[in-house]
Amino acid sequence: MFAVVKTGGKQYRVAPGDIIIVERLLGDAGAKIKLDQVLMVGENGKSPEVGTPLLGNAAVNCEIIDQSRADKIVVFKKKRRKGYKRTKGHRQDQTVLRVLDINGKGAVKPAAKKATKPAKEKKAAETRTDTKTADAPSRVVSQAETKSVTKKKAATKKKAAAKKKAAAKKKTAVKKKTAAKKKVAAKKSTAKK
């Protein structure tokens, strides 16, 4: 079963279990949301039901996985021979959704609940000072995103190493200059005597 949904001025073909990235929608991670602007619904082996332009009785139920921002883009404007240049950056807000079902059909089976921890382990987990991992929302990351993140980290490490080298070179150059100045001053003072 699949549906074509309109949200944020764009259309998405979705099926139960799909994860899509759409323009920002209101809600926190873990909240359920209903997309009711459905343009088309189809099932395997049957002809699709097409709206004019929307299907009135159709809805797609989704769960918000994450509220995030897209990669930065650079907006550069230039008018040649006029000395006009403007550079701006932009990061678009986006919402990551998991499609649960379409019209209540084809529902994704919920994940099996984990066995509960004993009381001692719960207290130990609550008293830990490191709660960043417990409070952080889970996020589905594609392979392309992980590659871009690792490339960015590598690039920042290279930049940091280059800055350290440049700083070290500056320090040695300053030390050499001050040593040379001291020698010249010493020679002048001995020449005056």
pLDDT mean by block of 10 residues, the chain; 193 residues: 93 94 94 94 90 90 95 97 97 95 76 58 53 45 65 80 87 88 85 72
Give the list of residues 6+ apart from residue 149 with CB closer than 8 angstroms, or none: 141
Cβ neighbours for 63, distance < 8 A, ≥ 6 positions apart: 30, 31, 32, 33, 97, 98, 100
The torsion angles phi and psi of 110, rounded to 5 degrees, stand at -70, 150
Across the beta sheet with 60-69, the strand order is 19-23, 93-102, 60-69, 32-35
Residue for token digits 């139920």? 61
How confident is the model at residue 132, as a pLDDT?
42
Q: For the segment 52-66, what is each residue's pLDDT rounded down to a tens digit?
A: 899 988 999 999 999
Give the tens place of pLDDT for each residue, 114-153. 555 555 555 555 555 444 444 444 455 566 666 666 777 7
Q: Two tokens at 107?
A: 């529902």
At a CB cut-off of 8 Å and minimum separation 6, what does 7 contact?
A: 22, 23, 25, 35, 37
Q: Give the number of other CB atoms < 10 A from CB of residue 49.
A: 15
Residue linked to tokens 């678009």:
92
Report the SS3 class of residue 190. helix
The pLDDT value given to residue 115: 57
CA–CA dist 147, 154 (Å, integer): 11
Q: Give dist(CA 160, CA 32) in Å, integer.
A: 42
d(CA 149, CA 55): 40
